[in-house]
Structure 1
């Protein structure tokens, strides 16, 4: 029986990025973590400059952008102002996961996380769904 050996991920830059949950469901009013990171095999201890950009389909501006060691929010869509953040220490290790607070119905949709780290870059789509919580009877 032959062993399966996965192909190298160098053929497509998108394969350098992964998410623990590409179809999360968030409760309205709560926070949600949208995961996005370089694949473990590609992630050294600490990298040089890492840029992370989160966008949402059919929305102008960015959801969140982190570059040069700091948030870059000049072109952030106002819908996400003061509700989104990344973890700077994790970004330096190739983790661009986004924390979104106070989830709203309008947050439903397809988000794209793009990471550009040294000579590697890629992106992954996250399909966020929102759900209301029923109150106890």
Structure 2
């Protein structure tokens, strides 16, 4: 079991909150200064919205900024990549690796593979649900 995010995991955000008060749109200079005050190892990336993925993106970002969870995903990525796994967890770990390995410290990332995997799972789940609710297409033959 993963340990919950410790208070030290939330400290980087406090520096950003002080530099850019809630509700204000910062200048590029203020944003660069605030990001410069944060740990060098952190990456601050937004996720591109594909029309209706904003809620999913916010959950993904919350998971990414929980240090222990992110670390476990990055460790799992090496295993998943070498074994050719292509499930939802592998896609999540690949997304975290893509963000963590960026040369830039901030920007926007498009989680296309993850969103496509979620959409495929939803389609197959919906199909299974519809099949279980509807009667068979062919009439049953009497025995």
TM-score of the two chains, using structure 1 as the length reference: 0.29
Larger strand percent: 1
Larger helix percent: 2
Task: Please identify the structure whose Cα radius of gyration is greater.
Answer: 2
TM-score of the two chains, using structure 2 as the length reference: 0.28
Of the two structures, which has the highest relative contact order with CA contacts closer than 8 Å and spacing of 6 or more?
1
